Chains A and B, each alone.
Chain A
Amino acid sequence: MKTYLAALLTTTILAISSASAQDFRIGLQEDPDVLDPHRARTFVGRIVFTSLCDKLVDIDPKLNFQPQLATEWAWSNENKTLTFKLRDDVVFHDGSKFDAEAAKANIDRARTLPDSLRRSELASVDSVEVVDEFTVALNLSQPDATLLAQLSDRAGMMLSPATFETDIGTNPVCSGPYKFVSRVQNDRIVLEKFADYRDADEFHFDRLVFQPIPDSTVRLANLRAGDLDMLERLNPSDAASVRDDANLQFMPIPGLGYQGITINTGANPRADNPLGKDKRVRQAFQLAIGRDIINEVVGNGLFEPAQQPFPPASPYNSPEFPVVTRDVERAKALLAEAGVERVSFELVFGNNTTAMATNELIQAMASEAGFDISLRPTEFASMQQEMQAGNYQAAQIGWSGRVDPDGNLHQFVTCEGTLNDSDYCNEEVDKLLDEARETPDVEARQELYEKAQAILQDDLPIIYVYHQPWPFVLSNKVEGFAPSPDGMVRLKGVKLAQ
């Protein structure tokens, strides 16, 4: 209780004495979960981690890997060993030094902790070897091209091993440009500048204050009132007024994730309908919906139409599969070919205003081609459970996206995939996607993904609708910020004009 009071006191003193020291205040859409990178699961949590915890590697806006704690890396032993050279000038926030032993301890923690959410990401790692003081090697049980991408996110974040036995989730000690100060759940997370950071000169704020403000309108009002310096995830309906506001900078970017329609195509009773059983009906459904119309009407230009699960910035987003344009006549012809005139099914979706508008539009567009869709807005956790149980016909749901193409596709469409709610199974797709995991060679992987997509785009267990945007809004005092497709807030070089 005493420590809590002290923490609360410092937080608030810090929070209100903002005039002297320079704060940077970021409005988040949700309150992050545990601040232990190995146990954390939310997207917003990663925004906080980006300033708090450095990773082995980072990514640039083109999704290329960049050195962070590792200066270089190399594959060897037929792609079954990944060796990292580490920086020798890194200290953790508690003053202890970062070296190969620390890296090994972290990767081992991430892959063995019973409730680590990184276990599946690091499943291919068989052992971690300290080669010398600043070289660490990961020995894999099988080649895993996705590993580098995993290590560019929470699986590659390094905590001070001296703190492993403490309560990391409420007091994380990492090696990033900012260190943890305090947190009041649902209210704020405060970080302060880490003076011993190697690039400390490039980080211009004394403190970062992350404030969860779930209501998009209120988040925006706070930014307009000068109580925030930037916010993430503006509601598309506010896009027009932000574009017109000279005091604000609007910086949307298509993210790594997507929103799409997952269709139950499996061997369960709910899939027993023309949509689930006949790919021509699914093709007709795709032809009936205008992704560009959704972008214009609901997205206010932020919902970049998606045909593929891979983000526009990704080298795996193939020109072979351009966005299918709406064609009601062809949709009707396909339905006739399939021997049905009108198809009715139920579409479930997470209950929020944007999803409601999107799905009402889909319902209206599809009805012109012969689809009678009944909409069922559902609370998100319930929808997830029903989908996993196969108790649905079609669901409009998204995926927050991963840097590596594997993360956006493999688990969703392979026969045994843990996220395969479509219950889709095609051995050829399995073979291609498994193979794409085994080589780090970009061109070879591009070809494999193209082949897999050729089958998937014909079978359509999932119809991708739009790339999930990350619409950032900043006060016009902020200089030097560049949005990144992963939706993270990187503050290197970012300043506030006086």
Chain B
Amino acid sequence: MLNIIGRRVLVAIPTLILVSLIVFGLQKILPGDPLLTIAGEERDPEVLAYLREKYRFDDPFYVQYFFWLGNVLQGDFGQSIRTGVPVSTLIAQKLPVTLQLAVMAIIMAMLIGIPAGVLSAVRKGTPTDYAANAVALSGMSIPNFWLGIILIMIVSVQWRLLPASGYVPLSVDPIQSLRTMLMPSFVLATALAAYLMRHTRSAMLGVLSSDYIRTARAKGLLPKSVILKHALRNALMPIVTLSTLLFGELLAGAVLTEQVFTIPGFGKLIVDAVFTRDYAVVQGVVLCTAVGFIFMNLVADILYILINPRLRHPR
């Protein structure tokens, strides 16, 4: 186990350097002079010259990159050009928000997707299966922002049941926090649940037709025990991979959903930063997201081993 973790961490270092280089480079080829957005409508030439020097925009690409990297290694991610807030503070502000949204969304998605997948596999070819498939397909096809706006219109404006948007930290008022996050995480979960349902269904179908399940049934085990204990446990492998990867993606921020529900998470932060050419923020958030994604991959590997004892002693 430690071996795996160690190897993963070693692989992560070049990955992170590559990611940061690519993002740094992509930002440089983005059209639009960041200083024009910073210097305001008037674009005073003196201010432009000062800022150009302050943010080292005249230095060659590699000088800028190493300067940034040097600071990051000392724990200094720089500060937002737009608001003057340190990037580390921004990440500390947004990370709990994004984490909460991601956790709630993935739990909701698993609660809906996995049982639905199992059910439609067990009842393959019945109306239940078709219904589950239809729901899953619509979950995948309905755009998040549309579903979000419709939910706000109905649940918040018409029924006044939940707040239309915003965010309250879990530590301050857990109930209100869950209430504000309910709709956005549900919107995210609908699409994710659909993926999970489809994958669970096909994995279950594969397992259910295998020999050992037939044997288990022949032994006279209860159907419930066959499905949950013998079939599902084996079918879970690809679902675990998918779930952790989906979770990793959620960590990068759910841009449209965050935008619709005005949740101050990573997605909104990075989109705003790209549009205002707030380089330091984009760099910092991407780096942080990449770390999150790599970490989730590691988690997937560890979960494999926990679920599947056969992997514990690799030959």
Cβ B85 vs Cβ A381 within 8 A = no
Checking A31, A32, A121, A384 against B33 with a beta-carbon cut-off of 8 angstroms, the contacting residue is A384
B90 interface residue (CB < 8 Å to A): yes
Cβ B277 vs Cβ A212 within 8 A = no
Cβ A120 vs Cβ B32 within 8 A = no
Cβ A16 vs Cβ B176 within 8 A = yes
Cβ A120 vs Cβ B160 within 8 A = no
Contact A169 B165, CB 8 Å, known A185-B269, A418-B43: no
Residues on the B chain within 8 Å of A212, using CB: 262
Cβ A381 vs Cβ B34 within 8 A = yes
A39 CA / B40 CA spacing, docked (Å): 9
A36 CA / B83 CA spacing, docked (Å): 9
Cβ A221 vs Cβ B157 within 8 A = yes
A116 CA / B39 CA spacing, docked (Å): 9
Residues on the B chain within 8 Å of A340, using CB: none
Which residues 259-282 of B have a CB within 8 angstroms of A? 259-262, 264, 268-269, 272, 275-277
A137 interface residue (CB < 8 Å to B): no
Number of B residues with CB within 8 Å of any CB on chain A:
56
Which residues 20-59 of B have a CB within 8 angstroms of A? 31-34, 36-47, 50-51, 54
Which residues 177-236 of A have a CB within 8 angstroms of B? 184-188, 211-215, 217-218, 221-222, 224-227
Residues on the B chain within 8 Å of A319, using CB: none
A33 CA / B83 CA spacing, docked (Å): 5
B93 interface residue (CB < 8 Å to A): yes
Residues on the B chain within 8 Å of A379, using CB: 31-32, 275
Cβ B51 vs Cβ A115 within 8 A = yes
Cβ B166 vs Cβ A187 within 8 A = yes
A384 CA / B30 CA spacing, docked (Å): 13
Residues on the B chain within 8 Å of A31, using CB: 83, 272
Distance (Å) between the CB of A163 and the closest chain B CB? 14
Q: At the interface with chain B, which of A1-9, A71-79, A98-106, A300-308?
A: A1-9
Contact A225 B50, CB 8 Å, known A381-B32, A382-B32, A418-B44: no
B152 interface residue (CB < 8 Å to A): yes
A385 interface residue (CB < 8 Å to B): yes
A63 interface residue (CB < 8 Å to B): no
Contact A187 B164, CB 8 Å, known A41-B40, A381-B37, A400-B41: no
Number of A-B contacts (CB under 8 A): 160
B78 interface residue (CB < 8 Å to A): no
- Closest residue of chain A to B173 (Cβ to Cβ) is A16
A117 interface residue (CB < 8 Å to B): yes
A343 interface residue (CB < 8 Å to B): no
Checking A185, A221, A384 against B153 with a beta-carbon cut-off of 8 angstroms, the contacting residue is A221
Cβ A120 vs Cβ B80 within 8 A = no
Which residues 89-123 of A have a CB within 8 angstroms of B? 114-117, 119-121
Cβ A385 vs Cβ B47 within 8 A = no
Contact A8 B166, CB 8 Å, known A16-B173, A31-B272, A186-B264: no
Checking B33, B85, B157, B169 against A224 with a beta-carbon cut-off of 8 angstroms, the contacting residue is B157
- Closest residue of chain B to A31 (Cβ to Cβ) is B272
A115 CA / B176 CA spacing, docked (Å): 42
Residues on the B chain within 8 Å of A119, using CB: 44, 46-47
Distance (Å) between the CB of B258 and the closest chain A CB? 9
Distance (Å) between the CB of A187 and the closest chain B CB? 4
Checking A185, A388, A419 against B93 with a beta-carbon cut-off of 8 angstroms, the contacting residue is A185
Per-position binary interface string of chain A over residues 384-405, scored 1 when its CB falls under 8 Å from any chain B CB and 0 otherwise: 1110100000000001100000
A196 CA / B54 CA spacing, docked (Å): 39
Distance (Å) between the CB of B150 and the closest chain A CB? 10
A34 interface residue (CB < 8 Å to B): yes
Contact A385 B31, CB 8 Å, known A4-B93, A117-B40, A221-B156: yes
Checking A34, A114, A227, A418 against B163 with a beta-carbon cut-off of 8 angstroms, the contacting residue is A227
- Closest residue of chain A to B36 (Cβ to Cβ) is A384
B172 interface residue (CB < 8 Å to A): yes
Cβ B80 vs Cβ A185 within 8 A = yes
Cβ B47 vs Cβ A381 within 8 A = no
Cβ B89 vs Cβ A213 within 8 A = no
Distance (Å) between the CB of A116 and the closest chain B CB? 7
B84 interface residue (CB < 8 Å to A): yes
Distance (Å) between the CB of B175 and the closest chain A CB? 10
Checking B41, B153, B163, B272 against A41 with a beta-carbon cut-off of 8 angstroms, the contacting residue is B41
B228 interface residue (CB < 8 Å to A): no
Distance (Å) between the CB of B180 and the closest chain A CB? 10
A64 interface residue (CB < 8 Å to B): no
A427 interface residue (CB < 8 Å to B): no
Residues on the A chain within 8 Å of B54, using CB: 114-115
A334 CA / B313 CA spacing, docked (Å): 87
Residues on the A chain within 8 Å of B269, using CB: 185-186
Cβ B277 vs Cβ A227 within 8 A = no
> Could you list 12 A-B pairs, sorted by A, with CB under 8 Å?
A33-B83, A34-B83, A36-B84, A117-B40, A119-B47, A167-B84, A213-B262, A214-B262, A218-B260, A221-B156, A222-B165, A381-B34
Additional pairs, 19, CB under 8 Å, beyond known A34-B83, A117-B47, A225-B152: A16-B168, A16-B173, A31-B272, A32-B83, A34-B82, A41-B40, A121-B42, A185-B93, A185-B269, A187-B262, A214-B259, A221-B156, A221-B157, A222-B165, A224-B157, A225-B164, A379-B32, A381-B275, A418-B42
* 3 nearest A-B pairs in the assembled complex, by CB-CB distance: A381-B32, A41-B40, A169-B84
